[in-house]
Homo-oligomer: A and B are copies of this chain.
Amino acid sequence: MRTALVIGTGLIGTSVALALSGRGVRVHLEDRDPDAPRTAAALGAGTEEPASEPVDLAVVAVPPAFIAPTVAAAQRRGAARGYVDVGSVKSGPRQELVALGGDLASYLGTHPLSGRERSGPLAATADLFEGRPWALTPTPETDTEVLNLALELVALCRAVPVVMDAEAHDRAVALVSHAPQLVSSLLAARLEDAEESAVRLCGQGIRDVTRIAASDPGMWVDILAANPGPVADVLAEVAADLDETVRALRALQAADEAKREHGAAAVGDVLRRGNAGRVRVPGKHGAAPAVYETVAVPISDQPGELARIFAEAGRAGVNVEDVRIEHATGQQAGLVQLMVDPAAVPSLVAALRQHGWSIRP
């Protein structure tokens, strides 16, 4: 790939352009807001000048509702040899492209899972996609040359290609991203009118479950509006299980012991199925869930405490895989939980103890 055209220079488009420009591709930038390509060009993402001949690959990075008309228009003017979009849903835009008389041979729907919560060209970085999954949804009509151009794009962005069909993609993101967003929001919404003494009892569990409930409603309405069917299907299944769970809890209130036992069994079943689902969530390295051991170290809240702990770990040759700092309510002191390879626990504990740290059993 020597030349590319990025249409839509928001966070994703500008990040793609930065990655391609950084690896020697000549990138032309377009946006319906004329200021946006200027900003992106100033960041080193490419040039505002139009291409004098068709580019190798056009990357359409616009909101879901505009993908099909933008691809169709670019195809009509012969802007590129191949066309990809990078939107978060894949089935609807392709159907719309067919309805608009677009060319399915030179088009491939793709979706980089960048996981960033910011937007706009100023938030863009060349390494936004490094190591992240990038879904590709080819069909039998897709030209092999276009698929290969898309794979080259993914490689230049240092992402990991995942090939799936468009409908499977949309069901997958409904399951692992869109439905979890709404479930988190629905639970957090229960706290809106809670008594002050109740929210004082919040712990780390509810903090984690409701973290993404802080997401931007406007952006999420756009995403959900482009994938409503698969999200509704997942949530309808959650709703059926939830109704069953409420019935099981009501049975636990019964005077009749057999009913209570039935309720306890049903609640236990939900919890065990949750265990079984949770182990399928990949760890941060993308492999099977990593099994780390936690070493817990109480600390005060002085600058440099964490540095000294990490320095000890580094000197002991121990790599800290993940870390969580747990502060106690109303206190400055806290607990650092270091997640490390189980084999590294003895040397880490010995090194920390030797330098005066206490370790929680």
On A, residues with C-beta under 8 Å from B are: 113, 115, 122-125, 127, 130-133, 135, 160, 162, 164, 168, 171-173, 175-177, 179-192, 194-195, 197-215, 217-218, 220-221, 224-225, 228-229, 231-232, 234-239, 241-243, 245-246, 249-250, 252-253, 260, 263-264, 267-268, 270-282, 284-287, 298, 301-311, 313-315, 317-323, 325-334, 360-361
B241 and A189 contact, CB distance less than 8 A? yes
If the complex has contacts A235-B246, A237-B190, A303-B314, are A201 and B176 also in contact, measured as CB distance less than 8 A? yes
How many copies of the shown chain assemble into the complex?
A: 2
B217 and A275 contact, CB distance less than 8 A? yes
In Å, the complex CA distance between A187 and B172 comes to 14
In Å, the complex CA distance between A224 and B269 comes to 13
Cβ contacts under 8 Å, A237 to chain B? 190
If the complex has contacts A131-B328, A203-B177, A209-B212, are A189 and B314 also in contact, measured as CB distance less than 8 A? no
Q: Assuming A214-B279, A220-B267, A284-B334, what are 9 further A-B pairs, CB within 8 angstroms?
A: A176-B198, A188-B274, A208-B208, A208-B209, A228-B249, A286-B330, A303-B319, A311-B311, A321-B325
| 11 A-B pairs (CB sep. < 8 Å) | A133-B329, A172-B198, A176-B198, A177-B206, A180-B210, A191-B281, A209-B209, A209-B212, A217-B275, A301-B319, A303-B314
B330 and A160 contact, CB distance less than 8 A? yes
Q: Secondary structure of the A side of the interface?
A: helix
Partner of A187, one of B238, B323, B330: B238
A317 and B329 contact, CB distance less than 8 A? no
If the complex has contacts A186-B274, A198-B172, A331-B131, are A211 and B208 also in contact, measured as CB distance less than 8 A? yes
Cβ contacts under 8 Å, A276 to chain B? 189, 192
If the complex has contacts A285-B331, A306-B320, are A185 and B273 also in contact, measured as CB distance less than 8 A? yes
In Å, the complex CA distance between A57 and B361 comes to 27
B160 and A175 contact, CB distance less than 8 A? no
If the complex has contacts A172-B198, A271-B215, are A329 and B132 also in contact, measured as CB distance less than 8 A? yes
- For the complex formed, measure the closest distance between the CB of A203 and the CB atoms of chain B, giving whole angstroms: 4
